[in-house]
A and B are shown apart, each in its own frame.
Chain A
């Protein structure tokens, strides 16, 4: 069994059984970005309970099966068009940023690419910069993805305060991963059984773009999704005859390298099974 880190898993919407499945298949740590609950919340006060869940409840639930739980805080793009709600939620976030499992601001971004969503995205960027936080970014899912990703990248590149190396732009697909990587950002690929990327397509993207600054995640939430999508991705990489070192690079070393930019992110077990520090990875595909 190979250890892995799930960069994007909405565990607040999953069962304890899912945590157990993830632990049984090698998950050692995950990051749980703030998400849309499947309905619009009636007021900003509901977010106090949600942020409490992300910073207090879920870490304990994960720890019972030996998984380290980290989180990102924000108002998810699905609710970001509501400017009064967004402003009220963003005001609440700073008091949670010192919690020990908080890695930064996320998943911010765009959903239907409205002017209000862009304004809320900018407010989140200002918050992240003011508090020196890392950022996890959501990109729209279907016909809006190219347009939304392009506007996100342009907004970030125009902002002289932003370090692309501390930002992961998630839900990348074939038509967007180039603009993400070429501009110095980290690219996330989310594995889904229906609406996003299959393991086969994710591997194609890794092969075409090279393995640097690419992470994969389950992005599991309340919709059709698989909490153990990453071990299934690893299985598919083996089927495609990639080496174990190449697999480890994508599912463990890359996320560990990105997340280790936060002083809060720690992996006690950043050693191999013999207690030795992990050796430098061979080029993807080297055998």
Chain B
């Protein structure tokens, strides 16, 4: 089998016909999450490293530079290139936590 990328069998309008409603729902879920955070009125949220990455990812959603999913993955990724010296915690938390003094 030849290995080559392609856009998929569906036209753009067919994709919209099939997938608009469920993605509309996802968008509303995101909006509701952000509204919920606003209602909490907790200033700590704005300083939280996860929410800083989250808001940057939301901005990326609405640009037109392509490969949004790849770029958003990298927004959440640890940019370091070397292994760490010790285990800090067992599980990941979803966004890179900068060391003190970083960004």
Contacts and interface: CB of A to CB of B under 8 A. Distances in A.
A277 interface: no
A146 B92 contact: no
A174 B92 contact: no
Q: Which of B76, B78, B80, B96 has the most CB of A within 10 A?
A: B78
Contacts, number: 108
Judged by DSSP, the binding face of A is: loop
A283 B4 contact: yes
Chain B interface residue bracket vs A: 35 or more
Interface in A121-159: 140-147, 150-151
B73 to A, nearest CB: 4
Interface in B1-39: 1-10, 14, 18-19
Given A146-B73, A147-B78, A174-B73, A282 B83 contact: no
A281 B1 CA distance: 6
Contacts of A207: 5-8
B16 to A, nearest CB: 13
Interface string A207-231: 1111110000000000000000000
Judged by DSSP, the binding face of B is: loop
Q: Which of B19, B83, B88 has the most CB of A within 10 A?
A: B83
A240 B18 CA distance: 9
A241 B11 CA distance: 11
Nearest to A150: B81
A240 B85 contact: no
Given A116-B86, A147-B79, A207-B8, 10 more contacts: A113-B78, A113-B83, A113-B84, A144-B77, A147-B77, A175-B70, A210-B2, A241-B14, A281-B1, A282-B1
